[in-house]
Amino acid sequence: MVNCTRLESVTVFGPRVRIPSPPQILSQPETHLSLRDAKIKTMKVRSATESDKSAVLELLDEFRSDCIEQITGKPAESQTAREGGAEIFEKLLSDSDYCILLLTDSDSKIVGIITGYLCPMLRSGEVRAEVEEFFVKKNSRGHDNAKMLMDVFFSWCQSKKVTKVNLESDNELSRAHNFYSKYGFETNATRFIKKLEY
């Protein structure tokens, strides 16, 4: 069981984001969330398993398509996760420093995902977490479903003694930015990218 209490301080990058003091994860301090069976209403958050591979990769392609559509204003179809993610998914499942959490509906269908990993910080001796993917399907948004997914990720971070959480998001994804702001994130950094060609 992971006790859902407050983190001391969390930094998030996005267009980027810093969380000085994250919101109370649950209103009931005695309430506990398990990474395998956090349940609120009809939605459930659980850790991914090997049998989720196909559904997870399909969901990540839907996420990428959704982002491309928001950025360009045109419908898009991505298959990058399904084409190249299977082997990586298997490796990450066995990595205790990596977290793949799934939001499922009352029919056990996967409708959301958050992934992240730990990153030790040599200069401070602390550990930060990086959110890599965060997505809830259109028909499952609202009713605090995204918040529930983020809450369980923060519980995982607390269990790993994380002091900062970094998250980045494309500048055009204003709907996501609204969620991050409501959750308590603040913009505080600039991201630089240099792609490598092979």
> What does the alpha-carbon distance between residue 164 and residue 168 come to, in Å, rounded to a whole number?
13
The three-class DSSP label of residue 121 is: strand
The confidence score (pLDDT) of residue 60 equals 87
For residues 132 and 85, the answer to whether their CB atoms sit within 8 Å is no
Nearest C-alpha neighbor of 136 from the set 103, 181, 175: 103
Residue 17 has pLDDT above 80, yes or no: no
Residue 196's pLDDT band (boundaries 50, 70, 90)?
A: very high
> What does the alpha-carbon distance between residue 193 and residue 168 come to, in Å, rounded to a whole number?
12
The structural domains of the chain, ordered by start, are 2-50+96-183 (3.40.630.30)
Average pLDDT over residues 126-155: 88
Overall pTM > 0.75 = no
> CA dist 66 to 1, 59, 146, 148, 171, Å?
34, 10, 16, 21, 14
The confidence score (pLDDT) of residue 160 equals 94
> What does the alpha-carbon distance between residue 172 and residue 74 come to, in Å, rounded to a whole number?
13
Per residue in 20-78, pLDDT tens? Answer: 333 333 322 233 454 444 444 488 899 999 999 989 988 888 888 777 777 778 887 87
For residues 100 and 48, the answer to whether their CB atoms sit within 8 Å is yes
Residue 148 has pLDDT above 80, yes or no: yes
- For the chain, report the end-to-end CA distance as a whole number of angstroms: 44
For residues 109 and 96, the answer to whether their CB atoms sit within 8 Å is no
Residue 189 has pLDDT above 80, yes or no: no
Query: E strands along the chain, which residues?
Result: 2-3, 10-11, 18-19, 32-33, 38-40, 43-47, 98-104, 110-121, 126-136, 164-167
The confidence score (pLDDT) of residue 171 equals 67
Residue 7's pLDDT band (boundaries 50, 70, 90)?
A: very low
